[in-house]
Structure 1
């Protein structure tokens, strides 16, 4: 075999290896912000919005990493830890699961080529650190443009607000989506604490927003963009990402 053919084979094997690795890996991203504005209350990620998609995907055979913006121990919203939730308990008991939140990867150090999907978990902390973060914008745009799946649940769609594709267009422009509603923000009496209305900002950036009633599961899938309205939608987001990933794997075989 001549050196040119050898190089071509090596390049093909490398590309195949990367594609296989990406096809089997999903990244869940959580907030690193722990303060609820100037209220003095603690916040962070909402645990069930991590654990429910995580369980769906790991049980389907996908490897799931967890990252935060700062890396290290990610802050949890204390209210989410007090929930009676069997999936949360499963996650916290698993020796391989909880350490991923206690020692989260730093998003800015990760290569989107190693993943085929990203899920932005919610929790009010995301409203402060997700929208303007350059790593969020660069990682998500690159993953989406390489054919990956972008998902977010509850306040997680705050990550989507300022993501621009190479065309210059916002990723969410003209896309059907959802996220934590104004009605739900008012119900938890935090509409004057959060820095902006997620529903309003998604709409102002060209997103075609829809919502169900208070605390009802509501899932919206528009191509490779998957969004869920609230914590009750977290499992549905995981199932939708799983379905898209499995469909992509079947298409590539």
Structure 2
């Protein structure tokens, strides 16, 4: 099982002067779900190298078993510090792709032509696509089968308007994930703010928020395992 995990390279939170990037839990928990299942995980980002960490996700209040494991794992830290440049990755050789969230993807991965081509390829070839929290924003400009939006008519979730309002960034982000998915014709659903929630529709596996990262990665791995056994 070869999995490509794609992280953001964007570190500016709009015009606030604050930093953003990827959310640590949303990387660490899926990374270990995949590694513990025996998968080969390749990390990539638009610019390559070490992707920016949202500094808020490093606060003690947001640490979990997975994030603490990461900080005790020199090999994982080395992997993260040397992500491959997305444009140089032969994405066709991977069995699945997974996107951690954080606000960064709303600026770069959502607008990346390379990423749009990758997603269209994975979808038309029915390879699992996982995205958690803000990462479903990557579907913003992706065309799927029949010329419609890739998420049109498909069940998905992602960071809610209420969650964005709670962190005070509704007027800072370039778009609201929930609104965008609905505007694209997705069958968007959600649970209570901050509660774990994962939605599976065919090869699309999406999670609502950081609390959903582990189960979202687990659902993606279940698809791969089932395909291997078939």
- TM interval, short-chain normalised: over 0.9
Asked if 2 retains the 8 angstrom alpha-carbon contact of 1:173 and 1:205, the reply is yes
Instruction: Give the paired residue count.
Output: 228
Q: Give the corresponding residue for 1:151.
A: 130
Specify which of 144, 164, 180 is matched with residue 165 of structure 1.
144
Asked if 2 retains the 8 angstrom alpha-carbon contact of 1:115 and 1:143, the reply is no
Q: Give the corresponding residue for 1:138.
A: 117
Q: Note if 1:80 corresponds to 2:61.
A: no
Q: Give the corresponding residue for 1:94.
A: 73
What is the rounded CA distance, in whole Å, between the counterparts of 1:100 and 1:139 in structure 2?
22
Residue 169 (structure 1) shift:
2.3
What is the rounded CA distance, in whole Å, between the counterparts of 2:198 and 2:38 in structure 1?
23
Gaps of 5+ in 2: none
Aligned to 1:54, what secondary structure does the other structure show? helix
Aligned to 1:98, what secondary structure does the other structure show? helix
TM norm structure 1: 0.87
Structure 1 residue runs of 4+, over 3 Å off? Answer: none
Asked if 1 retains the 8 angstrom alpha-carbon contact of 2:4 and 2:91, the reply is no
Residue 157 (structure 1) shift:
0.5
Aligned to 1:97, what secondary structure does the other structure show? helix
Matching of residues 14-163 of structure 1 within 5 Å:
24-82=1-59, 83-163=62-142
Q: Give the corresponding residue for 2:157.
A: 178
Q: Give the corresponding residue for 1:214.
A: 193
Q: Deviations for 1:151-198, whole angstroms, at most 9, x for unmatched residues? A: 100000011111113632221110000000000000111111111111
Higher-Rg structure is 1
What is the rounded CA distance, in whole Å, between the counterparts of 2:126 and 2:158 in structure 1?
23
Specify which of 192, 208, 222 is matched with residue 243 of structure 1.
222
Matching of residues 198-213 of structure 1 within 5 Å:
198-213=177-192
Point out the more displaced range, 166-175 or 125-134: 166-175
What is the rounded CA distance, in whole Å, between the counterparts of 2:216 and 2:19 in structure 1?
26
Cα RMSD, aligned residues only: 1.1
What is the rounded CA distance, in whole Å, between the counterparts of 1:176 and 1:44 in structure 2?
26
